[in-house]
Amino acid sequence: MTPSPFRSPRSSDPEVERSMSRTRPAPAPPAGAPSGRPAPRSTRSPAVGIAVVLVVQLMLALDTTIVNVALPRIGSGLRLGPAGLSWVLNAYTLAFGGLLLLGGRLGDTFGRLRVFETGLALFTAASLAGGIADTPGLLIAARTAQGVGAALAAPGVLALLTTNAPDERARHRALALFSAVSIGGSTLGLVLGGLVTEYGTWRWTLFINVPLGLAVLVLARRFVTETPRRPGRFDTVGAVAATGAAVALVGTLTGAPDHGWSSPRTVAGFAVAVVCAVVLVVTERRVSVPLLPPALLRSRRRLGGLAVTTLVFGSQMSIFFLVVQYLQRVLDLSPLYAGLAFVPMTLGIFVMSRVTPRLLARFGQAPLLITGTLGLTISYIWLAGVGTTDSCTAAVLGPLLLNGVSAGLTFMPAASLVVGGVAPGHAGAASGLLQTTQQLGGAVGLAVVVSVYAAGAVPGAFVPGVRAAFLTAGALTVMACLTTVLVLGTGRRSRTGR
């Protein structure tokens, strides 16, 4: 057997290790058994396998925004009104955010690469179906299927990167690339969406995934190695409860700005989410192999990382919504030029992805998170000063560059708090938990920001509402900064402290 191009690090989280010793039903089978480590597929450089996996994360990140700038063309082409267009976005968000925990646990149980490939195949096929859809129902169904495929593939991306890194330094580099691709891909999606909408057809916002998906499916079979499976009975009740809670919460938050926070529909949605969450908690305490291992939530540092991730992602979603609206409605830019305005933000994120691992090794997590969240706060305050007569350069390019640099400094340390020190058998669950938090944080933040914008908006004027909305986003990052100080302190000891 040739040596695997990846090696899984030994967990350094004693809480998770103790949980594994209590809950694992049997020792891992010997090599060659069905649930043991499969033979590696290639002896080539691990960098190739990492690149292949990151392409999928880029596809998933692109899909969160690439359709946004094409919505007006989709509406005119398929005769969709505002309510129908909202479902073109929400169908993907609901399926993706609602099934991430399930996708992570399926990867732990049945093999991360296997579930990753299954999700990618579904995502690619759904992209093709959406691109050729000639009715609103078919397009929304395809977007839902895309979300399901993304939920199966996404936890595998992070799990394959983190569990297979040979050491802590390599894991930090992988996390930095993952963070850069995740956020940079979202901003790049706005550029590509504007480009294909301006010079082609909205259908290419979906077709673009097809050649990429097929290429990755072929390359993954050769360059990416499967990780060990975790044998045991699958937690069906927990899976249903977690999915129900996430779908109910995301769906309710998405519709709350339109229906009202005190409407019966919103209250009922929150009630369903709470009931499902209670069922999940009770179930997870009783089963031998839980969907969400309770030990993952016993680490104060991990909970702090999840809180920071929720707040920062919630604030960042306002950037994509509010700035695009401002550029097109107030400054009257085309979709292409509105997308190009995000290039400084993208560059800032990718530059910092190269620098952040070295900064983390030198200074630790707390100083980076504090600096990054304060930088994000300043960028939102800067954006809150936009006016109706400003140029694009004066209004948004400076704050977007600062936002990108600050985001690049923030996301990787926050992610390392969540997935660092997790035992290999729980890596999929931890990855699913992190990405669920990102999705839910984005949904919560966007719902709050949109509600603030709507409350302060003046009929026929965009700027009054947007100022209050950006200040609200800044308040979220201030809370993230305070959370960092409370959980980690301010010094270098946060890098290694438990």
pLDDT in tens, 378-417: 999 999 888 766 777 777 889 999 999 999 899 889 988 9
The pLDDT value recorded for residue 151 is 92
pLDDT over 80 (residue 32): no
User: Which residue has tokens 């930088």?
Assistant: 375
Tell me, yes or no, whether 418 and 298 share the same domain. yes
Amino acid at 415: A
The pLDDT value recorded for residue 303 is 93
Interatomic CA distance for residues 373 and 393, integer angstroms: 24
Tell me, yes or no, whether 367 and 282 share the same domain. no
In this structure, the number of other CB atoms found within 10 A of the CB of residue 222 comes to 12
Concatenating the DSSP letter of every residue in 9-52 gives PPP--HHHHHHHHHH--SPPPPTTSTTSPPPPS--S-HHHHHHH
In a domain? residue 172: yes
Amino acid at 383: L
CB 13 within 8 A of CB 429: no
Query: Strands (DSSP E) along 226-331, which ranges?
Result: none
| 454 — pLDDT class (breaks 50, 70, 90) | confident
| 49 — pLDDT class (breaks 50, 70, 90) | confident
pLDDT over 90 (residue 118): yes
Interatomic CA distance for residues 165 and 370, integer angstroms: 27
| 221 — pLDDT class (breaks 50, 70, 90) | confident
In a domain? residue 477: yes
CB 203 within 8 A of CB 69: no
Interatomic CA distance for residues 221 and 244, integer angstroms: 33
Tell me, yes or no, whether 60 and 159 share the same domain. yes
Residue 12 phi, psi (nearest 5): -115, 15
The pLDDT value recorded for residue 366 is 92
In a domain? residue 33: no
| Average of per-residue pLDDT across 265-279 | 94
In a domain? residue 21: no
| Average of per-residue pLDDT across 26-50 | 51
pLDDT over 60 (residue 17): no
In a domain? residue 56: yes
Tell me, yes or no, whether 243 and 113 share the same domain. no
pLDDT over 50 (residue 351): yes
Interatomic CA distance for residues 104 and 426, integer angstroms: 9
Interatomic CA distance for residues 195 and 77, integer angstroms: 18
Q: How many domains does the chain have?
A: 2
Among residues 214, 211, 63, the alpha carbon closest in space to that of 142 is found at 63
| 18 — pLDDT class (breaks 50, 70, 90) | very low
| 323 — pLDDT class (breaks 50, 70, 90) | confident
Tell me, yes or no, whether 140 and 180 share the same domain. yes
pLDDT over 50 (residue 338): yes
Tell me, yes or no, whether 221 and 345 share the same domain. yes
Tell me, yes or no, whether 354 and 422 share the same domain. yes
The pLDDT value recorded for residue 457 is 67
* CATH number of the domain that residue 299 is part of: 1.20.1250.20
Instruction: Enumerate residues 6+ apart whose C-beta is below 8 A from 86.
Output: 254, 258
Interatomic CA distance for residues 87 and 64, integer angstroms: 13
The pLDDT value recorded for residue 61 is 87
CB 242 within 8 A of CB 102: yes
User: Which residue has tokens 């790049």?
Assistant: 188
pLDDT over 60 (residue 8): no
Residue 478 Cα distances to 308, 311, 374, 444, 483, angstroms: 10, 9, 7, 16, 9
Residue 453 phi, psi (nearest 5): -60, -45
In a domain? residue 339: yes
Question: Token pair of 364, please?
Answer: 């630790």
Residue 381 Cα distances to 83, 208, 396, angstroms: 31, 36, 12
The pLDDT value recorded for residue 492 is 56
Tell me, yes or no, whether 122 and 166 share the same domain. yes
The pLDDT value recorded for residue 444 is 82
In a domain? residue 2: no
Instruction: Enumerate residues 6+ apart whose C-beta is below 8 A from 472.
Output: 318, 448, 449, 452
Where in the sequence is the domain holding 248, given as residue range(s)?
235-288
| Average of per-residue pLDDT across 418-433 | 81
Instruction: Enumerate residues 6+ apart whose C-beta is below 8 A from 249.
Output: 269, 270, 273, 440, 443
Tell me, yes or no, whether 253 and 240 share the same domain. yes
CB 298 within 8 A of CB 358: no
Tell me, yes or no, whether 173 and 283 share the same domain. no
Tell me, yes or no, whether 241 and 215 share the same domain. no
3-state DSSP assignment of residue 458: strand
Residue 450 phi, psi (nearest 5): -65, -40
The pLDDT value recorded for residue 12 is 45
State the sign of the Cα–Cα–Cα–Cα dihedral 438, 439, 440, 442. positive
Amino acid at 176: A
| Average of per-residue pLDDT across 37-46 | 50
In a domain? residue 4: no
Looking at per-residue pLDDT, the higher value among 321 and 54 belongs to 54
Tell me, yes or no, whether 138 and 259 share the same domain. no
Interatomic CA distance for residues 313 and 79, integer angstroms: 32
Interatomic CA distance for residues 464 and 357, integer angstroms: 40
